[in-house]
Protein backbone atom coordinates (compact mmCIF):
# COMPACT_ATOMS: atom_id res chain seq x y z
CA UNK A 1 0.00 0.00 0.00
CA UNK A 2 1.37 3.38 -1.06
CA UNK A 3 -0.73 6.42 -0.17
CA UNK A 4 -1.58 8.65 -3.13
CA UNK A 5 0.28 11.63 -1.59
CA UNK A 6 3.54 9.70 -1.16
CA UNK A 7 6.45 10.19 -3.57
CA UNK A 8 8.27 6.96 -4.34
CA UNK A 9 10.99 7.56 -6.93
CA UNK A 10 11.98 5.11 -9.67
CA UNK A 11 14.28 2.30 -8.62
CA UNK A 12 12.85 1.94 -5.09
CA UNK A 13 12.36 -1.66 -3.93
CA UNK A 14 9.51 -2.20 -1.47
CA UNK A 15 9.02 -5.61 0.10
CA UNK A 16 5.67 -7.37 0.15
CA UNK A 17 3.29 -6.04 2.80
CA UNK A 18 5.17 -2.77 3.38
CA UNK A 19 2.88 0.24 3.85
CA UNK A 20 3.84 3.79 2.89
CA UNK A 21 1.66 6.53 4.42
CA UNK A 22 0.80 10.21 3.72
CA UNK A 23 3.40 12.62 2.32
CA UNK A 24 6.32 10.18 2.54
CA UNK A 25 9.24 10.79 0.18
CA UNK A 26 11.41 7.79 -0.73
CA UNK A 27 14.38 8.53 -2.98
CA UNK A 28 15.93 6.40 -5.73
CA UNK A 29 17.94 3.33 -4.80
CA UNK A 30 16.17 2.75 -1.47
CA UNK A 31 15.49 -0.88 -0.52
CA UNK A 32 12.86 -1.64 2.13
CA UNK A 33 12.11 -5.20 3.24
CA UNK A 34 8.77 -6.89 3.74
CA UNK A 35 6.03 -5.99 6.25
CA UNK A 36 7.40 -2.53 7.00
CA UNK A 37 5.43 0.52 8.05
CA UNK A 38 6.62 3.95 6.89
CA UNK A 39 4.71 6.67 8.77
CA UNK A 40 3.43 10.08 7.67
CA UNK A 41 5.97 12.65 6.39
CA UNK A 42 8.98 10.31 6.61
CA UNK A 43 11.93 11.21 4.36
CA UNK A 44 14.21 8.38 3.16
CA UNK A 45 17.25 9.57 1.20
CA UNK A 46 19.01 7.83 -1.71
CA UNK A 47 20.32 4.29 -1.30
CA UNK A 48 19.16 3.83 2.31
CA UNK A 49 18.73 0.12 3.15
CA UNK A 50 15.94 -0.98 5.52
CA UNK A 51 15.28 -4.58 6.57
CA UNK A 52 12.08 -6.54 7.18
CA UNK A 53 9.40 -5.71 9.78
CA UNK A 54 10.66 -2.19 10.48
CA UNK A 55 8.38 0.50 11.90
CA UNK A 56 9.43 4.05 11.03
CA UNK A 57 7.25 6.61 12.77
CA UNK A 58 6.04 10.01 11.52
CA UNK A 59 8.49 12.74 10.48
CA UNK A 60 11.65 10.60 10.77
CA UNK A 61 14.56 11.59 8.50
CA UNK A 62 16.80 8.81 7.21
CA UNK A 63 19.74 10.10 5.18
CA UNK A 64 22.10 8.60 2.61
CA UNK A 65 24.61 6.19 4.17
CA UNK A 66 22.16 4.55 6.60
CA UNK A 67 21.60 0.80 6.88
CA UNK A 68 18.76 -0.44 9.12
CA UNK A 69 18.48 -4.13 10.08
CA UNK A 70 15.36 -6.23 10.60
CA UNK A 71 12.71 -5.62 13.27
CA UNK A 72 13.88 -2.06 14.02
CA UNK A 73 11.66 0.63 15.59
CA UNK A 74 12.44 4.26 14.71
CA UNK A 75 10.33 6.75 16.67
CA UNK A 76 8.75 9.96 15.43
CA UNK A 77 11.05 12.87 14.52
CA UNK A 78 14.23 10.75 14.72
CA UNK A 79 17.03 12.17 12.59
CA UNK A 80 20.03 10.29 11.23
CA UNK A 81 22.86 12.54 10.03
CA UNK A 82 25.48 11.60 7.42
CA UNK A 83 28.16 14.33 7.43
CA UNK A 84 30.31 14.86 10.54
CA UNK A 85 31.46 18.32 9.40
CA UNK A 86 28.54 19.78 7.41
CA UNK A 87 28.86 22.95 5.37
CA UNK A 88 26.16 24.21 3.04
CA UNK A 89 28.56 24.68 0.12
CA UNK A 90 30.75 21.59 0.55
CA UNK A 91 29.64 18.05 -0.28
CA UNK A 92 31.48 15.10 -1.77
CA UNK A 93 30.84 11.39 -1.38
CA UNK A 94 34.06 11.19 0.66
CA UNK A 95 32.28 13.17 3.40
CA UNK A 96 29.58 10.49 3.74
CA UNK A 97 29.77 8.73 7.11
CA UNK A 98 27.91 5.42 7.19
CA UNK A 99 25.53 4.67 10.05
CA UNK A 100 24.17 1.23 11.00
CA UNK A 101 21.21 0.21 13.14
CA UNK A 102 21.33 -3.53 13.85
CA UNK A 103 18.45 -6.01 14.16
CA UNK A 104 15.86 -5.46 16.88
CA UNK A 105 17.07 -2.00 17.98
CA UNK A 106 14.64 0.75 19.05
CA UNK A 107 15.26 4.47 18.76
CA UNK A 108 13.01 6.78 20.77
CA UNK A 109 11.20 9.89 19.57
CA UNK A 110 13.18 13.06 18.79
CA UNK A 111 16.56 11.33 18.98
CA UNK A 112 19.48 12.34 16.79
CA UNK A 113 21.97 9.72 15.65
CA UNK A 114 25.26 11.34 14.65
CA UNK A 115 26.92 10.19 11.43
CA UNK A 116 29.12 7.09 11.56
CA UNK A 117 27.55 5.49 14.64
CA UNK A 118 26.50 1.84 15.00
CA UNK A 119 23.50 1.03 17.20
CA UNK A 120 23.81 -2.59 18.36
CA UNK A 121 21.33 -5.47 18.25
CA UNK A 122 18.30 -5.01 20.52
CA UNK A 123 19.73 -1.76 21.90
CA UNK A 124 17.32 0.92 23.07
CA UNK A 125 17.90 4.65 22.63
CA UNK A 126 15.70 6.74 24.94
CA UNK A 127 13.56 9.58 23.61
CA UNK A 128 15.35 12.87 22.98
CA UNK A 129 18.84 11.38 23.03
CA UNK A 130 21.83 12.53 21.01
CA UNK A 131 23.92 9.46 20.18
CA UNK A 132 27.53 10.42 19.42
CA UNK A 133 29.30 7.04 19.76
CA UNK A 134 28.59 3.36 19.07
CA UNK A 135 25.91 1.71 21.21
CA UNK A 136 26.61 -1.90 22.34
CA UNK A 137 24.16 -4.78 21.78
CA UNK A 138 21.29 -4.75 24.33
CA UNK A 139 22.42 -1.38 25.73
CA UNK A 140 19.96 1.15 27.16
CA UNK A 141 21.22 4.67 26.43
CA UNK A 142 19.69 8.09 26.88
CA UNK A 143 20.59 11.73 27.41
CA UNK A 144 22.49 14.45 25.58
CA UNK A 145 25.03 13.16 24.90
CA UNK A 146 23.63 9.66 25.40
CA UNK A 147 25.16 7.60 28.22
CA UNK A 148 24.93 3.88 28.88
CA UNK A 149 22.34 3.41 31.66
CA UNK A 150 21.87 -0.36 31.67
CA UNK A 151 20.82 -3.17 29.39
CA UNK A 152 17.54 -4.40 27.90
CA UNK A 153 16.16 -7.76 26.84
CA UNK A 154 15.05 -8.64 23.31
CA UNK A 155 11.51 -7.99 24.60
CA UNK A 156 12.45 -4.42 25.62
CA UNK A 157 12.37 -4.80 29.42
CA UNK A 158 15.28 -3.33 31.42
CA UNK A 159 17.47 -6.12 32.76
CA UNK A 160 18.02 -6.08 36.52
CA UNK A 161 18.98 -9.57 37.72
CA UNK A 162 22.63 -10.32 37.10
CA UNK A 163 25.21 -12.93 37.94
CA UNK A 164 28.91 -12.18 37.45
CA UNK A 165 30.95 -14.88 35.68
CA UNK A 166 34.59 -13.94 34.99
CA UNK A 167 34.39 -11.03 32.53
CA UNK A 168 30.68 -11.61 31.72
CA UNK A 169 27.48 -10.48 33.37
CA UNK A 170 24.52 -12.82 32.99
CA UNK A 171 21.16 -11.04 33.05
CA UNK A 172 17.81 -12.79 33.38
CA UNK A 173 14.74 -10.95 32.09
CA UNK A 174 11.98 -10.63 34.69
CA UNK A 175 9.36 -10.50 31.92
CA UNK A 176 10.23 -13.33 29.52
CA UNK A 177 12.93 -15.25 31.43
CA UNK A 178 15.52 -15.00 28.67
CA UNK A 179 19.18 -15.11 29.74
CA UNK A 180 21.49 -12.56 28.14
CA UNK A 181 25.27 -12.46 28.56
CA UNK A 182 26.97 -9.07 28.39
CA UNK A 183 30.74 -8.58 28.36
CA UNK A 184 32.39 -6.39 31.04
CA UNK A 185 30.05 -3.77 32.47
CA UNK A 186 32.69 -1.55 34.10
CA UNK A 187 31.88 1.11 31.51
CA UNK A 188 28.27 1.54 32.75
CA UNK A 189 28.51 5.34 33.01
CA UNK A 190 30.52 5.96 29.84
CA UNK A 191 29.33 8.37 27.19
CA UNK A 192 28.09 6.78 23.99
For residue 140, the 8-state DSSP code is E
Residues 9 and 25: their CA atoms lie apart, in Å, by 8
Residue 191 clears pLDDT 50, i.e. is over it: no
Tell me: the pLDDT tens digits for 84-127?
999 989 888 888 999 999 999 999 999 999 999 999 999 999 99
Residue 25 clears pLDDT 80, i.e. is over it: yes
Nearest residue to 53 via CA among 10, 16, 13: 16
Residue 148 clears pLDDT 50, i.e. is over it: yes
> What pLDDT sits at residue 189?
43
Residues 135 and 114: their CA atoms lie apart, in Å, by 12
Residue 24 clears pLDDT 90, i.e. is over it: yes
> What pLDDT sits at residue 96?
92
What value does the mean pLDDT take over residues 155-178?
86
Percentage, residues of the chain above pLDDT 70:
95
pTM of the model: 0.92
> What pLDDT sits at residue 93?
85
- Decide which of 75 and 166 is more confident: 75
Residues 159 and 137: their CA atoms lie apart, in Å, by 13
- Cα angle 24-28-34, degrees, rounded to a multiple of 5: 65
What's the gap between Cα 81 and its chain centre?
12
Domains of the chain and any CATH numbers: 7-152 (2.160.10.10)
Amino acid sequence: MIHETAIVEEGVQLGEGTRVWHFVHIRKGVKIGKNGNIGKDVYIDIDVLIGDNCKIQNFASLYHGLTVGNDVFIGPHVCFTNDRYPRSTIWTDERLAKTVVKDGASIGANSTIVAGVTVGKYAMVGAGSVVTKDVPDHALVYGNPAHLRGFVCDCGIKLETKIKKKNLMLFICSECGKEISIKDTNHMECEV
